[in-house]
Amino acid sequence: MKNHVLAALLAAAIPIAGCATTGAVGGTAGSTAAYTAAQSEVARLTAQANEHVLLRPWSGPHGGVPPWDQANPELLPTAFEIGIALQQAEVDAIASNPAAPTFANTIEAMQSAGAHLDRAGTIFSVMSANVATPAVQAVQAEWAPRLTAAGNAITFNRALFNRIDTLYQTRAGLGLSPTQLRLLERTHSQFVRAGAALTPEQQARLGGINQELSSQFTEFNRRLLADENTAIFINREADLAGLPQSLRDSLRAAAVERGQPSAWAIVNTRSSVDPFLTFSQNRRLREQVYNTFKNRGDNGDANDTNAIITEILRLRAERAQILGFETHAHLRMADTMAMDPDRAQELMMRVWPAAVARVEQEVADMQAIANRQRANITIEPWDYNYYAEQVRRDRYNLDQNEVREYFVLDNMVEGAFYMANQLYGLSFREITGTVPVFHADVRVFEVSDRDGSYQGLFYLDNFARTGKRSGAWASGYQGHETYTGTTITPITSNNNNFVRGAPGQPILISLDDAQTLFHEFGHALHGLLSEVDYPGLAGTPRDYVEFPSQVHEHWVLSRPILDRFARHYRTGEPMPQALVDRINNASTFNQGYTTVEYLSSALVDMALHYRTDAVADPDAFERETLTAIGMPDEISMRHRLPQFGHLFSSDAYSAGYYSYLWSEVMDADTWEYFEASGNVFSPEIAAGMRNIILAEGNMSDRAEAYRRFRGRDPDVDALLRTRGFPTE
């Protein structure tokens, strides 16, 4: 299905691959009367949908853009009602077609079904993540299960599946192109794994589970956002000791936004908490801020998420059993590069011991500094970032505040554009003000290819605000497609949560922030450079999709980017080589912390879902699992279960948080490939990146694609070398 809403729901429910027993299928042709009636309904509803601003084809420049200036949550219910009805009528027309099934009248026709609902769903998803007002949240609570039900109705349409299955069983003689054959096979697998071949009784229960899950995901998101919209206010300037001026300015701006102009606000999100924990000299406040952040969703109040998590786990376990899978992890991983939970576990446990050993060294170094200062403490989790920064200064003569002065946000945005130009020939021209946006913060760029031809649009939303979820992410508003004979060009976005500084002052970001910027931009490039013919082949496996984003982080510290864009915010001078050398010397510093913080979350995720019975007490399970794997006392998981949105705001990363590590193997191996060439903008390697890694989407097997690009499988040792761990 082309439909953004349905595709998201199907992806959340199941991976798009694998096989289960389909059983015998019956006839494939429908009645002429039913077909005629469905076509008439499609025509009637299409005319109605084309009158609704959230449903009709996008108009305006660049082939059409989202009508953000006319979008409001009050319009969504009517849009969903019409859109769902139209999509169902389109599917009924395909399913009841009296002609024998062909690729064109079934598989290709399905690619177009739901286009109107897709547009409303795109607008709704962006609003939900970026401007989640109470009105938007109310729509989400009401319509998430109804949209899921609409998806179930299509998945469980027996006549539709019979046509798909007939084509699948006879695919060898259909004369399809490789791309068409792959789309047919993946469509069939998607429907099978969504329950299309189950009995009516099984489908009824599975449909109920899917609707219940969508409601639970929505409520989890609502509660987490409520906790993240809180803040700790500081009223005494003395309590800001150690904080750089740029951070003080951002905390003051956050307080002003929250109606306390004489205070400083530490908002309960990572972008505000992490820098405070790194620089604050006030240990009591560090502990308070840390515990408040780590206990999001776990306070036994109206925003507590533990009961929701328990119910999600129960529903997932039941669903996996209905679909014929041993566990939710087996279900989720069948369409990944790893394919099996054991392979993911094997990779994680290859890295884990070295990471834990490195943490022991890091803690010893930090404790030595604390002892030398006569702090009379034992290193606790809220001390880690603070003392790690002191070790960095002591050992490498490297101060993050010094580094931050060279990373001006706007300059690094330009640096990301320069990287895209040097690698892939893309050019970005700002056109903000010429097309509608959903918030005044959003900037818009027209993207052109090296020959000057139009490539797509890029929306950039950089700043934190109330109602915007935390973290950083990329979204695709529109993907590349050609199957109708008309080329549709991509529209992508990046959404970050950088904190504003004082009015009129440049916004300074950390090295980690700059890498996050380039990471999300890598996702955007993946969309902008797509050459996919059919939208059904756009999405890549979960443990591949992070590879193109992660590898682009490396260019932040490449000499060409540093020379041109890492310029001091006061003097304009480029970052001196001596400072670059200190950064490079410290490149593997604190990798124990970084790896353990992430990997513990991935290991708990896998343990949680790699079992036949559902966990009843998430807090207890988290503690017991961390004890079993030897989690250092001085570190906590990057995402504790009560706030683990990757796992419980949808199914997207459930049993899949390991994928960042899996992708990093390819990322590290690819960066070594560029470095070994002697040119980090090597035209030959960049061409392979563009044409094989990025442009193909899922038109070919991604493991085979990597072998075509690199000439071999990725080298796991490259990952260990990047993190500074010993190789075997």
pLDDT at 664: 96
Q: Is residue 520 flagged as an active site residue?
A: yes
Rounded distance, CA 534 to CA 532, Å? 6
Q: For the chain, what are the domain ranges?
A: 4-225, 231-294
pLDDT of amino acid 538: 95
Reading the block at residue 204, the tokens are: 């009824």
Q: Which two tokens stand for residue 219?
A: 């409520």
Among 289, 278, 204, residue whose Cα is nearest residue 247: 278
The torsion angles phi and psi of 474, rounded to 5 degrees, stand at -120, 150
Percent of the chain at pLDDT exceeding 70: 96
Amino acid making up residue 338: A
Residue 24 pLDDT greater than 70, yes or no:
no
What is the average pLDDT score of the chain?
A: 93
Say which DSSP state 108 is in: I
Q: Which amino acid is at 457?
A: L
Band (484; pLDDT cuts 50, 70, 90): very high
CA distance 148 to 460: 30
CA separation for the pair 567, 411 (Å, rounded): 8
For residues 503 and 500, what is the distance between their CA atoms, to the nearest angstrom? 8
State CA 246 to chain mean position distance.
Answer: 29
Say yes or no to pLDDT of 590 above 80: yes
Q: Is residue 662 within 8 Å of residue 350, measured between CB atoms?
A: no
What is the strand order of the sheet 454-463 is part of?
427-430, 443-448, 454-463, 491-498, 473-478
CA separation for the pair 6, 727 (Å, rounded): 44
Q: What is the pLDDT of residues 194-239, one digit of tens each?
A: 999 999 999 999 999 999 999 999 999 999 999 999 999 999 999 9
Q: What's the pLDDT score for residue 499? A: 86
Residue 613, burial from CB neighbour count under 10 angstroms (0-12, 13-18, 19+) = exposed
* Residue 517 and residue 557 in contact, taking contact as beta carbons nearer than 8 Å: no
- The secondary structure of residue 375, as a DSSP letter, is -
Residue 478 to residue 119: CA distance in whole angstroms: 9
DSSP state of 615: P
Asked whether the beta carbons of 563 and 571 are under 8 A apart, the reply is no
Residue type, 580: V
Amino acid residing at 621: F
Residue 624 has pLDDT above 90, yes or no: yes
Q: What's the confidence (pLDDT) of residue 676?
A: 97
Return all residues near 441 (Cβ < 8 A) that are at least 6 apart: 461, 462, 463, 465
For residue 503, what pLDDT is reported? 84
Of 543, 521, 548, 398, the C-alpha closest to 461 is 521
Examine the pLDDT at 512 and tell me if it is beyond 70: yes
Overall average pLDDT of the 381-401 stretch = 93
User: With bands split at pLDDT 50, 70 and 90, how would you rate the model's confidence at 22?
Assistant: very low
What does the alpha-carbon distance between residue 465 and residue 257 come to, in Å, rounded to a whole number? 8
Q: What is the pLDDT of residue 28?
A: 55
Give the CA radius of gyration of the chain. Answer: 26
Q: Which of 362, 520, 634, 696 is catalytic?
A: 520
Please list the alpha-helical segments (H only) found in 373-459. Answer: 381-396, 400-404, 409-424
pLDDT 10s digits, 676-718: 999 999 999 999 999 999 999 999 999 999 999 999 999 999 9
CA distance 251 to 718: 39
Per-residue pLDDT for 541 more than 50?
yes
Amino acid at 566: A
Q: Answer for the pair 501, 253: CB distance below 8 angstroms, yes or no.
A: yes
Q: Tokens at residue 58, please?
A: 């996008």
pLDDT cut 90: percent of the chain above it: 92
- pTM of the full predicted structure? 0.89
Quote the pLDDT of residue 8: 35
- The predicted-structure confidence for 77-131, as pLDDT tens digits, reads as follows 999 999 999 999 999 999 999 999 999 999 999 999 999 999 999 999 999 999 9
State the average pLDDT over residues 179-208: 96
Q: Residue 29: its pLDDT value, please?
A: 63
* Model confidence at 582: pLDDT above 80: yes
**Mean pLDDT, to the nearest integer, of 24-43?**
78
User: Per-residue pLDDT for 17 more than 60?
Assistant: no
Are the C-beta atoms of 160 and 95 separated by less than 8 Å?
yes
Residue 15, pLDDT > 70, answer no
pLDDT at 9 over 90: no
Compute CA 449 distance to the chain's CA centroid, rounded to the nearest angstrom. Answer: 26
β partners of residue 463: 498
What is the CATH code for 4-225?
Answer: 1.10.1370.40
Sequence-separated (6 or more) residues with CB below 8 Å from residue 298: 304, 305, 306, 619, 640, 642, 643
Per-residue pLDDT band for 11 (boundaries 50, 70, 90) equals: very low
